[in-house]
Structure 1
Amino acid sequence: MEHITSTPTAKAPAERFTGDVYLNPIETPSEPARLASALVRFTPGARTNWHSHANGQVLYITDGVGLVGTRDGSVVRVSAGQTLKCPAGEEHWHGATETTLMAHIAMVVGNSEGDGTTWLEPVTDEQYTAAQAAITS
């Protein structure tokens, strides 16, 4: 058994996120483990860039209300207590709504090259606005 002490909160890198996003790593695996997890907090309007995961991703929403969007324009509204699974290879983004913060625990199973995440371009303001409209209509 290993008791892991808390990790300091870090601001998420601007090249992968829009707005103010804060990270607390939970588990950074070492062989043979492959599960990586982090608590991610999004301020209102903040979001990830488009990205995908080689082995998929599970998001457990711990607080607030958020959005998860995919390339085909599908948008899911998520709130505290809900879990969302993103399939392997699916390009998606996630973040807070315009008016409400959102926090989730992000879990990915990596591979021998790392966590298996491929980071892409930012979600445009137009895409984000369209996602907001999709959940309120």
Structure 2
Amino acid sequence: MIIVHPEGQAGTAGKQGSQFTGQAFPYLTLPSTDGIVINTVNFTPGARTFWHTHERGQILQIVAGRGLTQVEGGPVEILRAGDTVWIPAGEKHWHGAAPDSFMTHTAISLGTTDWADPVDDADYLTSENQDRS
């Protein structure tokens, strides 16, 4: 058994660049344990991950706010607090906050994560993600 108390979590003051566009506040909730990593990430409006894949998949639990996600070649999908998302192994995707909302999610990543390119602003700001409901 491993217990990680809040004071042992490896949060950052705010992370730009690297695997994020915009400002995100990732907190390492559970360091890599048996190939599983859990992060809680607070995204400022418009902040998002780069395109990426996971060796054995990823689960996202939307805790607060409104966000967006997209699978390569698919439409931009709206995420709301209470949503749970399953991303299968090897499926290229991104996720983050909507342009006009903060968003917090807990990400449970299985296996290694392979990071790719940033999401273009033109793709992110498509008409599909302007729904404010």
Q: Which residue pairs with 1:26 in the alignment?
A: 29
Unaligned runs of 5+ residues in structure 1 are 111-115
1:79 corresponds to 2:75: no
Aligned equivalents of 2:46, 2:129: Cα separation in 1? 14
User: 1:73 deviation in Å?
Assistant: 3.1
User: 1:70 deviation in Å?
Assistant: 1.6
Q: Which residue pairs with 2:92 in the alignment?
A: 91
User: 1:2 deviation in Å?
Assistant: 4.3
Aligned partners of 2:60 and 2:84 also within 8 Å: yes
The CA RMSD measured in Å over matched residues stands at: 1.5
Q: Which residue pairs with 2:116 in the alignment?
A: 120
Q: Which amino acid aligns with 1:92?
A: H
Structure-to-structure mapping, 1:1-137, within 5 angstroms: 1-6=1-6, 7-10=9-12, 11-12=14-15, 14-30=17-33, 33-110=34-111, 116-130=112-126, 133-136=127-130
Unaligned runs of 5+ residues in structure 2 are none
Give structure 1 regions of 4+ aligned residues with deviation exceeding 3 angstroms.
Answer: none
- How many residue pairs were aligned? 128
Aligned equivalents of 2:21, 2:42: Cα separation in 1? 12
Q: Percent identity?
A: 36
Aligned partners of 2:42 and 2:102 also within 8 Å: yes
- State the TM-score, normalized to the length of structure 1: 0.86
User: 1:12 deviation in Å?
Assistant: 2.9
Aligned equivalents of 1:125, 1:36: Cα separation in 2? 28
Q: Which amino acid aligns with 1:5?
A: H
- Deviations along 1:86-105, whole A, 9 cap, x unmatched? 11111110010010000100
- Deviations along 1:33-77, whole A, 9 cap, x unmatched? 222101011000000011111111100000000000121132211
User: 1:13 deviation in Å?
Assistant: 5.1
Q: Which residue pairs with 1:113 in the alignment?
A: none
Point out the structure with the larger strand share. Answer: 2
Aligned equivalents of 2:91, 2:130: Cα separation in 1? 24
Q: Which amino acid aligns with 1:18?
A: T
